[in-house]
Homo-oligomer: A and B are copies of this chain.
Amino acid sequence: MTKKVSNRKPTKKHQRSNNLFSVIIAGGSGTRFWPLSRLETPKQLLHIGSHKKTLIQATVSRMSPVVSFKRTYIVTNSGQVESINLQLLSMTGLSWDKQFIIEPEAKNTAPAIGLAAVYLRRIDPKAVMVVLPSDHVIKNNRKFHSAVLLGAQASGDGFLVTIGIKPDKPETGYGYIHCGDKIKQGVYHVKEFKEKPDRERALKYLQAENYYWNSGIFIWQADTILRAMKKHMPKLYEGLVKIDKAMGTERVQEVVKTVFSKLKSESIDYGILEKAHRVALVPVDMGWSDVGSWNALDHVLPVDGDKNVKKGNLISIQNKNSILYGGERLIAAVGLEGMIVVDTPDATLICRRDKAQEVRKIVDILKKRGAREYSTHRTMLRPWGSYTILELGDRFKIKKIEVKPGAKLSHQMHHHRSEHWIVVAGTAKVTNGDRVYDVHPNESTYIPMSTKHRLENPGMIPLQIIEVQNGDYLEEDDIVRFDDIYKRKTQK
């Protein structure tokens, strides 16, 4: 029994290093997972491959035995901060307010990583960054932790370390890394990075056994990557120096914005790794998937005897090798083979599996049309609970609003609409102008236009109300906030 020491889960103390930081890149808009992903709920915020955690929750949680929550930073855009903060708060019980590094615009991975490196080097000159995409699935956490720690060690010798995944099929959708000589146990020189191959070449790589998938997970000292940028991406480096100097001043946001506006979009792979000399590879077989499209769902979810992934309210007859991904609405599928069906309350996708990449085109069309299905879902989560749009009329809008026990919406006012509230479950505490009163199930109240009001749930069970809005303009941005316990700027 005592022989298997190396298989034991190491204690947290043993694993965590004092210089290690997680840098989670959460910039993607996740167009490839439409209609489940929308502009306001990109892929990393979705439950894909797990009921319990969203992809970004799983990413943060997975790293926690190695890097504490407090040393984990999220690089994202301002539009996603509130949603990510809400998800991480609900998982950890901690506020993540201070752990966001905001990109003013998306410029691919090199600028995002450069910005994080400058930021972390200020906190700790010897900071070691573990750079992680926020939307990948990893099944074997133990192997993942071992690889990260091996990489962290190698980063101490000045290596830029990349985690390589042992291929189990001739995948044409990933870049490959040609593995070179051994540096030490489990760590190798990188001979060459290879672009996404055709099928024939992918088969060769698979057979050769010294090619690995490029996972996009990297480990290096903040200082090492910045020095590499100075050499290989001098313009980026110049901008980062400006940002570095502005840090701690009031100007910093403005400087980041100006610098980013002038940067070229560039990936860290192309900009640095393919050019740098001391690049190391830690190969690992850890059940990894980047879940790049709906077509990859059977890599991360169980399949039935006919190789179908099935979820939701389905009637499935004679289907094979298909992804049937529904929710509460009824989907009946008959005789499908190699198809993807994804259902959401307001939109359904039906797509041949080998056309999964075309889903981007749909999102482009919706964006051009200014369609609601591009940006939001019918149900939107908020720190205080959620709301669901039941009906949109000419001069009215019907919402179901659910407020968590103890939660309260902001003290607010609308210029263009009045609201009827009917309580259908729980008890509402309502501030309506100067009056404060309770409203119980089967009771209603009326909030006139331009009247300051607030809705809260003083009770122990969820509060459910039906809101009927009347007015000439019924968008979410008609809101004046006077007080908000969640300190939000944009959301209701």
Contacts and interface: CB of A to CB of B under 8 A. Distances in A.
Contacts of A339: 350
A350 B466 CA distance: 33
B362 A334 contact: yes
Given A343-B348, A470-B441, A390 B398 contact: yes
A35 interface: yes
Contacts of A400: 391, 398
Interface string A387-427: 01011011110101000000000000000001010101100
Question: Interface on chain A toward B: helix, strand, loop, or mixed SS?
Answer: strand
Nearest to A464: B393
A195 interface: no
Contacts of A351: 332-335
A183 interface: no
Given A329-B348, A346-B330, A398 B398 contact: yes
Interface in A299-346: 315, 317-318, 329-337, 339, 341, 343, 346
B396 A332 contact: no
Task: Output the residue of A332, A393, A420 with the most chain B CB within 10 A.
Answer: A332
Interface stretch (A23-31, A249-257, A353-361): A353-361
A456 interface: no
B335 A359 contact: no
A191 interface: no
Interface string A354-379: 11001101100110000101000000
A289 to B, nearest CB: 22
A233 interface: no
A267 B189 CA distance: 81
A2 interface: no
A410 to B, nearest CB: 23
A330 B34 CA distance: 12
Nearest to A353: B335
A142 to B, nearest CB: 39
A207 interface: no
A420 B418 contact: no
Contact of A424 (B315, B390, B395, B425): B395
A442 interface: yes
Contact of A349 (B318, B332, B347): B332
A424 B361 contact: no
A332 B347 contact: yes
A315 B359 CA distance: 11
Contacts of A35: 330, 332
A468 interface: yes
Given A339-B350, A341-B350, 11 more contacts: A315-B366, A318-B358, A329-B347, A330-B348, A332-B350, A332-B359, A335-B352, A390-B398, A395-B424, A395-B425, A442-B470
6 contacts: A330-B373, A332-B359, A332-B362, A388-B391, A395-B424, A424-B470
